[in-house]
Amino acid sequence: MSTEHVLDRRPGGHARDRVRTTANKVPEVTASFWIIKVLTTGMGETASDWLAHLLGPVPAVGLGGLGLVAALVLQFAVRRYVAWIYWTAIVMVSVFGTMAADILHVGLGIPYTLSTPLFMIALAAVFALWYGAERTLSIHGIRTRRREVFYWAAVLATFALGTAAGDLTATVGLGYLGSAVLFGAAICVPALAHRAGVLGAVPAFWTAYVITRPLGASIADWMAVGPHRGGLGLGLGPVTLSWTVAILALVGHLAVTRRDVRSA
């Protein structure tokens, strides 16, 4: 799915909203977009667990929450898409989204079989409100403050849903590697359905977007956990750091080349 397939050509909302943001606030949907997205999901998964082991659950959640707020404040403050700012916000959503799902399961004892549909309902509610207000769910019309709020609410919901879904499949017998294979196959479905003309570009994009979360998290967990849990045993810290380096390299490349910015 490329940008031209999900580009929203409708006017950017009310006139008072249009003056808030004058350029689209999200990147082009390219191969780099999907690669970085998967990397951020895996890095967020292991970083969340690493911080919880290093600092303790409560300080880790507090730090993750502060990081998310700071990143979103910066993202909302700029008037155009800036690669490092946008992807920093995505990373922090990934870290905190993981923590939110883990809090429900570990802290409150809510099973993944319940939290997964709950997050699905939450995401559906965000989409319903967004579409009811804007008549579109396209990510390439994020030019007003209201659309930006809906966009980031949807992003946060997709990360929490994907985390719960990935943990659900990993704990029902598939394991991390089996889950990675499952979601790797699943992410091909919306792309193929869109290519065949049976699924619209926007629902295909958001379906794939949700699936990237459990896909990346399953791969990262498989690399990090020990052989007794079916993993490679590389450790949470090394996996987090290595995936962070990969993200920094790719985002740095995009910041220089600007290949993820639509020409005027």
Per-residue pLDDT in tens (0 to 9) along the chain, 264 residues? 544 444 444 444 444 444 455 578 999 899 999 999 999 999 999 999 899 889 988 888 899 999 999 999 999 999 999 999 999 999 999 998 888 777 777 777 888 888 889 889 999 999 999 999 999 999 888 989 999 999 999 998 888 888 888 888 888 888 899 999 999 999 999 999 999 999 999 999 999 999 999 999 999 999 999 999 889 999 999 999 999 999 999 999 999 999 988 765
Which tokens in the block code for residue 47? 């970083």
CA distance 132 to 146: 12
Q: Are 187 and 211 in contact (CB under 8 A)?
A: yes
In the block, residue with structure tokens 């943001």: 21
pTM for this prediction: 0.88
Q: Are 168 and 218 in contact (CB under 8 A)?
A: no
Other beta carbons less than 10 A from residue 211's beta carbon: 25
CA distance 224 to 178: 15
In degrees, rounded to 5, the angle at the alpha carbon of residue 192 between the alpha carbons of residues 254 and 167 is 75
Q: Are 210 and 161 in contact (CB under 8 A)?
A: yes
CA distance 43 to 158: 16
Which tokens in the block code for residue 57? 């659950």
CA distance 41 to 130: 24
